[in-house]
Amino acid sequence: MDSPSLHTDLTDSILRCAIAVHRGVGPGLPEHSYQAALKLEFDAAGISSVDDRTIEVRYRNVIVGWHRPDFVVEDKVIVELKAVTNIDPVHAKQVLTYLRVTGLRVALLLNFNVTTMTHGIKRYQL
């Protein structure tokens, strides 16, 4: 039996915002344009988000780097944006690593360089 999905209402709201952005500006833009537009859409929808929150990565209890997911939404969901031809396995690994180092359990990987936004959505849950 599959485990129930966490934060379904929140991820549905995030996806509605992403679809609205994609319909409004279309594919083919750089990632930062989608990030700015999605932040506006989150704000309009009353969704609390932090863009580019710095997270530290530790190895052997030493900080070895700092990374920034595109969004951490309501301290529950990581949202990572792409504007690429194809989602590569390394993109999924990046999102899974963000989940592991933050302790969060749900992430969305959104690729805006698609003809229909629903083809650019990947959901991950630990």
Q: In degrees rounded to 5, what are phi and psi of residue 57?
A: -115, 130
Render pLDDT for 39-71 as a digit per residue (tens, 0 to 9): 999 999 999 999 978 988 889 999 999 989 999
Which CA distances in Å does 113 have to 84, 88, 97, 118, 125? 6, 13, 23, 11, 23
Domain boundaries, the chain: 8-125
Tell me: the pLDDT tens digits for 78-103?
A: 999 999 999 999 999 999 999 999 99
CATH number for the region 8-125 comes to 3.40.960
Flag whether the pTM goes above 0.75: yes
